[in-house]
Amino acid sequence: MVEPNQLVFTDEMPDHYIMDINEDKHEVALSAQDVEVYYGAKQALQKTNLKFERYKITSLIGASGSGKSTFLRSLNRMNDDVGTVKGKIMYRNLDINSSDIDVYEMRRHIGMVFQRPNPFAKSIEDNITFALKQHGIRDKDELAKRVETSLKQAALWDEVKDTLHKSALSLSGGQQQRLVIARAIALHPDILLLDEPASALDPISSAKIEDTLLELKEKYTIIIVTHNMQQAARVSDYTAFFHMGEVLEYDLTRKIFTRPKVQRTIDYVNGNFG
C-alpha cells in the first residue's frame, strides 16, 4: 500500500531528465561535458553532462556505489592517479581535465573537503597558514587576516580565537571539519567540493556545517555529496540524482523532492530504493 505522503505520478515518466541551466540568465561556474570515468576496464561513470550555477549549492545524491564521489573527485582531478577521466570540465573557459593544466594551481580555485576531517598535526593557526605560505603569502598581517576571516566564515572563530596555538587534533570532530573547511576557503577558492562532510559528525556539528554552507554560498559555488536527504533538501538549490554510474535526474532541489520526473528518483527520495 502507498503511504499518503509518498509521491506517485501516473503520467508517463522519462528515464532521464537533465536540466540545462540557461546561461543567459544564470552564471555557470563549472560544467562537466561528456565526463566518463574508468577504473581499469570498469566504467564507473557514464557520460555525464552537468552545469553548476555560481553561488548556489548543488547536492549529488544516490545509493552507495552510484558514482557520486567518482564524479565529484573528477571535478578537481582527484582521480588522476586511480582512474581515467574522459571529457571536458570547463572552468573559466579552460578545460581543467586537459593535460597541460597546472593541477596544484587549479586546486587553489577548486578546493575539496573530505568525509573524515583531516587536519594536519599542527596548531589551528598553522593548519590555515601552511598552504597560504606555500602559495607565497608571507605577510604576517595578511596571514592573520586570512586566519580570522576563514575561521569566521567557517563558523569556528568564536570557539577557537583564544586557542589558535593549540593543536588542531585537540578539537572535536565537528570543529576539525569546520577547521578543514576554513583551511580550504583561506585560499579563496571559487568552488568548494565537499564529499559527505557531515556524515561522520553528531547532529549538532552536522547542523553547524549546514549553517556554514548556507553562509558560504554567498561567496562560493558549492557541490556536495550527501546521503542525507533532509540535508540535501535543506541546503541545496540544485540536486543531481545518481544511479549505477549515471545521472538520471538533475533539477532544482525543490522539484527533485516534490515532483521528480524519473521513476527511480521518486523511489529513491521515498526511501524505496532496492
Ligand X SMILES: Nc1ncnc2c1ncn2[C@@H]1O[C@H](COP(=O)(O)OP(=O)(O)OP(=O)(O)O)[C@@H](O)[C@H]1O
- Which residues lie near ligand X (CB under 6 A)? 39, 44, 62, 64-70, 82, 242
Q: Which is nearer to ligand X, 70 or 150 (CB)?
A: 70
Q: Which is nearer to ligand X, 79 or 205 (CB)?
A: 79
Q: What cell numbers appear for 181 in the block?
A: 573547511
Q: Which burial class, exposed, middle or buried, applies to 264 when counting CB atoms under 10 A from its CB (0-12, 13-18, 19+)?
A: buried
Residue 34: CB atoms within 10 A of its CB come to: 10
Q: Which burial class, exposed, middle or buried, applies to 222 when counting CB atoms under 10 A from its CB (0-12, 13-18, 19+)?
A: buried
Minimum Å distance from CB 206 to ligand X? 17
Minimum Å distance from CB 81 to ligand X? 9
Q: Which is nearer to ligand X, 69 or 175 (CB)?
A: 69
User: End-to-end alpha-carbon separation of the chain, Å?
Assistant: 17
Minimum Å distance from CB 39 to ligand X? 3
Q: Which is nearer to ligand X, 83 or 174 (CB)?
A: 83
Minimum Å distance from CB 65 to ligand X? 4
Residue 67 in contact with residue 45, Cβ under 8 Å? yes
